[in-house]
Chain A
Amino acid sequence: MKTETPNDSSTPPPTIVLGVIGADCHAVGNRILERLFKDGGFKVVNLGVMVSQEEFISAAIETGARAILVSSLYGHGEMDCQGFREKCSEAGLDEILLYIGGNLVVGKTDFSLVREKFLKMGFDQVFPPGAAPEEGIAALKEDLARRIVAKAGN
């Protein structure tokens, strides 16, 4: 697994953990996300496909990641993500950002309902099917900047 880092600034780039959750083996989008997030200035730890919640969490702890980006393409996302936020808290990852995108449920459901559901489960951002990775990158930069400001304000 390569984890190149862009050298555009003096502070180290924030680390993110990326992967496709559950028994889902759709690999194409995952590769694209890895490439684009690297180019976008992140250190990407890509766990690939068929990743369990535990693997996401262990990787995030060891690497000191700021965010976990979950993909789910095959329609079982809701089941696979049950209790994810709670498990993070339990493992001491109190401040980690959780993002999710892909085809989160089977068939065509009103996306606002889907988003609602995943926000309630503790995800910070929920992306609709076919969302452009750039959207995710912009949101992540904004969320991380906001966290830093919030910390400085404390």
Chain B
Amino acid sequence: MKYLLADIGSTFTKLCLADVEQRTVLGTTIAPTTVKTDVNQGVEAARQKLGKKAEDVEATLACSSAAGGLRMVAVGLIPNLTAEAARLAALGAGGKVVETFSFLLTEADLGRIRALRPDILLLSGGTDGGDVKHILHNARQIQNHLPDVPLIVAGNRSAHDEIRRILDGRREVWFVENVMPDFKQLRLEPAREAIRRVFLERIVEAKGLTRLCDRARILMPTPEAVFKAAVLLSKGIPNSEKGMGELLIVDIGGATTDVYSCAEGAPALATVRQRGLREPCEKRTVEADIGMRHTASHLLEEPALKEIIRENGAEWEEMQTWTQTLTGNPGRLPQSEKEQAMDTALASAACEVAVGRHCGRWEEAFCPDGRFYFQDGKDLSNVRRVIGSGGPIVNSKTPRAILAGAKKKDGEPALKPRDPNYYLDTQYLLWAMGLLAEVDRAAALEIMKKNILPLTK
């Protein structure tokens, strides 16, 4: 039985043809898409390249990056509690969190949110039975100033009745369980599910992707597909097929860089105490300012890039020129060995910065019987598997040099992997396996295991 898997909505339409009985990938192709062309043309062009193999497929399953990603704004009460929980839920659903707000929303905040034009606003605040004052105020502000933004309410359950009254008459609003029902207790799945539903019902339609629907089933945002693949690869299938264990995935793109971790990351020493939220085992972050093309110039401000350039003996001025070229012409590929080297330097800096932001940190403190540390976020120092995915890494001649950015350097504060082994998503199919897993988990897992291979040099 064959499935055609499609990633639509970004600069390239990607197709992957998988055979679930043989547990193999029969082919992958890409075709350029523009915002203006019909997505079907992209899919058709890519399908042509697959030839006869792509006939009589069981179904076409698609994920979509919905033209620029699913823009989300998260609102909560305390920055490192419900606001962070809302942010994590949005990221986990494949959203791009453009900004997070806490406490009482001011009129300036509302103006800012309007300017950000989010696809979805996620409103949380208070544990169940906890604070209602803030979320009620924020619901009123949102109703008065942002009447048309699709809104998901996932806050204090005790406030939901009153919020329903406040939001009376609002067309696009959904109520789900609290992202933090009890203090520091996360429940992200219901909010994630709601985000996905809204994405499918509303956003896909608004962005003109429905025409594809008679031919393909659009199941989820692309980052969520990668996330699902990551979790399956890490955990495996209980009682039948083992997973790879704790891992970290880096997916560098033209505009953004995604990092996924499947690892507990709890404090490993008795002298370290977790502060703030205990982050979920399965975590995704996306760096909206870190990428290889549209956002390449931002990397110039990162000390990581300076350091890499210094080590490689390249010229800073040349790098400046190169990033300028890329920002003006995101389709540009390196043409000389020198440009190739600069692209590698950019990618390893992107990896270093994005993984650094994903990992937790320690802060030293003193007490009567010695030194101890507060840990914010997850400690990923003992994660041994770092997997590279995404075009810039998969197509690079030196993927290992790029992924080395994920390894902790001396003096770096982030709790990055100390001694990782590197792997490559050789055919760039994590996203596709996230889709395939919806119909056949065992096949998706086996195909990933066959194609995600250790990088020896």
Contact = CB atoms under 8 A, between A and B. Distances in A.
Interface of A: 1, 3, 12, 15, 22-25, 43, 45, 49-50, 55, 58-59, 61-65, 74, 76
B366 A62 contact: no
Contact of A64 (B81, B130, B273): B130
B389 to A, nearest CB: 35
Contacts of A62: 77-78, 81-82, 125-127, 130-131, 180, 183
A1 B182 contact: yes
Contact of B185 (A1, A61, A74): A1
B365 interface: yes
Nearest to A52: B275
Contact of B367 (A12, A15, A25, A43): A25
B77 A3 contact: no
B367 A23 contact: yes
B184 interface: yes
Given A1-B183, A50-B372, A62-B78, 17 more contacts: A1-B182, A3-B183, A12-B129, A15-B130, A22-B367, A23-B367, A24-B367, A45-B183, A50-B367, A58-B78, A58-B80, A58-B81, A59-B81, A62-B125, A62-B131, A65-B130, A74-B368
A63 B78 contact: no
B366 A23 contact: yes
B288 to A, nearest CB: 27
**Chain B interface main SS type:** loop
B132 interface: yes
A144 to B, nearest CB: 16
Given A1-B183, A23-B372, A43 B129 contact: yes
Given A45-B183, A50-B273, A64 B129 contact: yes
Contacts of A55: 275
B183 A59 contact: yes
Contacts of B127: 62-64
Contacts of B368: 23, 74, 76
A45 B125 CA distance: 17
A45 B185 CA distance: 11
A61 B82 CA distance: 11
A63 B156 CA distance: 9
Contacts of B275: 55
A107 B357 CA distance: 45
Contacts of A23: 365-368, 372
